[in-house]
Amino acid sequence: MAAAGNTGKDLRFKRLLLKLSGEALLGKGNHGIDMSVLERLAADVKEAQDAGCQMSIVVGGGNIVRGMEFAARGMDRATADYMGMLGTVMNALAFQNVLEQAGCPARVLSAIPMPTVCEAYVRPKALHHMDKGRVVIFAAGTGNPFFTTDTTAALRAIEMGCDAVAKATQVDGVYSADPKKDKSAVRYDRLTYSEVLARDLRVMDGAAIALARDNRLPVIVFSIEEPGNLLKMLSGQARATVITADA
């Protein structure tokens, strides 16, 4: 629920979908979930929710299993992708648990029905949870192989009527190259969907950007490494790259 006396009137976005990679949960490890990182991220989400932003989340599964890597090693692509989807369910359940412990009501909705574990994704149900002040965590991708969680994020943001999708990364926006490897990389404050696709900037996969473009859904790329940066981004105080129809 929004914090007392705060209805989100000072926020740039009143309803937001946050896209987190599975790797964001690794911390300094090489595999699995770093609970201290998860707790920090949950605190950021709760802070944004308390400020009046209706929050939903899509989290990847790369910290547990990456379908593309298994497919590259000869596994059937569809099977590998389903394994990746199950990894996202594990991350979503962990995130829900930490949010609930922090006093932030949350629900996991899976595109692959598993009633003994979590709720199945049904759009009206998800909207109901958001209207009730609960953070909704979308798991298992779209439920179909050959689609990434980036595409899931764009799709669910549109279905939920979100004002934007926020892609959380380890850097403060979109660069022409990896700034950690290329010191000459150029940072962009604003981009158009067409520029992202034409320059192959790989902010999100092409299907996700095309879906955002066709539905005029802004994409905000910002750093999640600094505690409290999610609320700063919502308040327009964080460095970020904004991707829209007009730069």
Domains and CATH numbers, the chain: 15-244 (3.40.1160.10)
pLDDT band at 243 (very low <50, low <70, confident <90, very high): very high
What tens digit of pLDDT does each residue of 67-79 get?
677 777 788 999 9
pLDDT tops 80 at residue 66? no
pLDDT at 36: 94
What tens digit of pLDDT does each residue of 114-132 get?
999 999 999 999 999 999 9
pLDDT at 2: 41
Structure-model confidence comparison of residues 5 and 240, the more confident one: 240
Cα–Cα distance measured from residue 19 to residue 61, given in angstroms and rounded to the nearest whole number: 12
Share of the chain above pLDDT 90, in %: 81
pLDDT at 67: 65
Cα–Cα distance measured from residue 48 to residue 71, given in angstroms and rounded to the nearest whole number: 37
Cα–Cα distance measured from residue 135 to residue 120, given in angstroms and rounded to the nearest whole number: 15
Q: Answer yes or no: pTM beyond 0.85.
A: yes
Cα–Cα distance measured from residue 149 to residue 20, given in angstroms and rounded to the nearest whole number: 9
Residue 59's beta-bridge partner residues? 20
What tens digit of pLDDT does each residue of 129-177 get?
999 999 999 999 999 999 999 999 999 999 999 999 999 999 999 999 9
Q: How far apart are the first and last CA of the chain?
A: 34
What is the average pLDDT value for the chain, to the nearest integer?
Answer: 92
